Amino acid sequence: MRHARPAALDELEPLLAQIRALRGLTEKARGVFYRKSKAFLHFHEDPAGLFADVRLSADFDRFRVQTAEEQAALVGLLSRHLND
In this prediction, residue 9 has a pLDDT band, given cuts at 50, 70 and 90, of: very high
Residue 1 has a pLDDT of 80
pLDDT at 84 over 80: no
Query: 18-74, pLDDT tens digit by residue?
Result: 999 999 999 999 999 999 999 999 999 999 999 999 999 999 999 999 999 999 999
Indicate if the alpha-carbon torsion angle 65, 77, 82, 60 is positive or negative.
Answer: negative
pLDDT at 10 over 80: yes
So where are the chain's domains? 2-83
